Structure 1
Amino acid sequence: MDRDQAASENLLDRENQLIADILDGFHTLIRLGTEKVSNAVTPGQAATDTMAVELTTHRMIKSVEDLLQLTRQLRELWVVGPLRGPGEGDDEAQKAIQKDAAAFFGMMNRARAEDRMRRVRESGGCMTYLEGNVEGNPGSGGPK
């Protein structure tokens, strides 16, 4: 099992657990709400039942909030995709950088050649330029 599959199963397990918690809370609320009330119920028992209803309600609210957060996270992963781990995709990124750098340096060399020719024409042919290409490694600070 690869990492992405384990992570997605973990998220789905969390979703199932949260749904089970919400259903359990509904079951508890229904049980507490349908208990028979008699004249023999003490104020302490009534307070205990009230607290149980409040705690169950708060637990259900927390589970629903967690479920909303989880569904938001699942939607983000579905739309954007999972984040890459350290080192993943570095080769592709390096190739893309090298391709972009080669295109940039080619464009710079053409611009320099055109500028040289324009200056030679403007000087009436009394200048000469030695030709050389702009080379470099992106991020190295300039030409080699």
Structure 2
Amino acid sequence: MALGEQIIWGSVFMGLCLMLETGFLVWASTVLSRAGRRLSTPPTTLQIGWMMILALFFIVLAHTIQVLIWSTIWTRYGAVSDWNEAIYFSLVTYTTVGYGDLTLGPGLRVFGTFAGVAGVLGFGISSAFLIAVMSRLLQAGMFGQD
């Protein structure tokens, strides 16, 4: 893939991943809001814990789907030999661990960096969301009532 194509397609897939991340967090907000209406006032520590677990469920699901999207891309372009390697490479790249035991050829290197950027931005958005949820829950519960 030529450099221009790598930049264009990398931007497209990164954008799709970030739209997916945002969509999952909006969905999580809706679900959390509905669940929050059923909480006692103030919410108990256990209720706060369950709400956090629910938020984490949506975050983990969003990131897992993004890793699967990148894995599909690597197998489609023949960048890796099998699905197991594709998931491994996607996780290492998306989390920006980058062990270096698997590398992309020159025709996909720039494109591959977009997976890392998507991960960095996705984790940042998820972290901000989780902090916002935790702050609201803890404020509402005034640190929980057992």
Q: Same fold (TM over 0.5)?
A: no
Pick the TM interval, shorter chain. Answer: 0.3 to 0.5
Mark the structure with the bigger radius of gyration.
1
TM-score by length of structure 1 reads 0.34
Task: Select the structure with the greater relative contact order (CA < 8 A; seq sep ≥ 6).
Answer: 2
TM-score normalised by structure 2 residue count: 0.33
